[in-house]
Structure formats: structure tokens, C-alpha cells
Amino acid sequence: MSGSDLEISIYEFREVFERFAGLTTASLSNKTKPYKHEREFFGIAGFQNQELSAGCLHRRNQKRLYFHQTEAERDFLQMIAAIAASINKPAELSRLTVEFVKLLNNPGAQMALIKIFGDELQTDRKNPVTDLEKDLWMPETHKPQPVNQISMRLRAINKTAKLSAKD
């Protein structure tokens, strides 16, 4: 895929996409008990407490899986953000990626995509910020947002505070 200054090979995109999808799908199983092959490994090795050993191995493998899934998610989101920044109409990309992440049942990535594309949905590409800087303030169209008042009640410092030196 190529944009104005973005160069991503289809192979790189496919690798990141498949790694994210595969690791997310694998992490969804979230099985708490060891798998059969994890127990068999310690049985063949002749360990005394095979269940405990298999449980430790399973927990270690789950932690590694979570780490790699998190890294794959970060890479995927960075790539999508770079692609979104380089195209003129990111609405279709937004729709497809959000739909894909919903299929993977990954609410964390879904929220990150909303943040990535949220700015795109709120800004109007027809009037970039550089053009808006030249606009004059018109009170009838540009109304300031309401301000929430901040409470001015501050706690007094306790008299027992001891300072070693004067200010």
C-alpha cells in the first residue's frame, strides 16, 4: 500500500494482520488448566508432581502468549493509524477495522481504534486547520463552550506541619 509518504508492503501488512488475528484468537481460549501435552511432557520426563509442573508451564505459556498478543496488537494499531493518516477518506478503513476487531472480541483494540478514528470523524477534511486559522471570530457561529466551575475550597495545611527552614 502506498500513500503520500507511506510505504507498506502487502507482505508486511499481511504479517502484522495475521499475527494480531492469530495471537488474539489463541489468547481468547484463556484456559486455566494445563493442556494434555503440557502434562504429558512432565510425565515423560519422570517428574514427581506432574500436575504442579504442568500448571507452572501453562501459566508461563499464558503470560508469554499475552505478551506477544499485546505486542501484535500494538503493531497492528500503529500500522492502521499510519494508513489512516495517509489516506483522504478513512471512513471505509475505520468501518472495516472496527468490524474486524469486533469479530476478534478484543474490546481494548476496539477502544484504541475509536481513539484513532475519533479525530477523523470530528474534523472536517474540507476545512483543514491551516485554513481555519485565517477565519475571523464570529460570535453567532463560534460560541465558547460552557465552563464547569472549579471548587475553590482548598484544605488548609495542618498546623502540625514542621518545616526545617523558612522560605
pLDDT per position in the chain (167 positions), as tens?
Answer: 544 567 888 999 999 999 999 999 988 877 778 888 888 888 888 888 888 888 888 888 889 999 999 999 999 999 999 998 888 888 888 999 999 999 999 989 999 998 888 754 444 445 555 555 556 666 666 666 666 665 555 555 555 555 565 65
Looking at residue 42, its pLDDT comes to 82
- Please check whether residue 123 is in contact with residue 110, taking contact to mean a CB–CB distance below 8 angstroms: no
Burial class (CB in 10 A: 0-12, 13-18, 19+), 24: buried
Looking at residue 12, its pLDDT comes to 94
In angstroms, the CA 127 to CA 120 distance is 13
- Please check whether residue 24 is in contact with residue 104, taking contact to mean a CB–CB distance below 8 angstroms: yes
- Please check whether residue 55 is in contact with residue 34, taking contact to mean a CB–CB distance below 8 angstroms: yes
Looking at residue 33, its pLDDT comes to 83
Looking at residue 18, its pLDDT comes to 96
Looking at residue 79, its pLDDT comes to 94
Whether this prediction's pTM lies above 0.85 is answered by: no
Burial class (CB in 10 A: 0-12, 13-18, 19+), 23: buried
Q: What would the DSSP string read from start to end of 117-159?
A: HHHHHHS-TTS-HHHHTTPPP-TTT-PPPP-PPPP---PPPPT
What cell does 8 get? 507498506
Looking at residue 109, its pLDDT comes to 92
Looking at residue 47, its pLDDT comes to 82
The dihedral sign for the CA sequence 105, 109, 111, 113? negative
Looking at residue 142, its pLDDT comes to 60
In angstroms, the CA 154 to CA 167 distance is 21
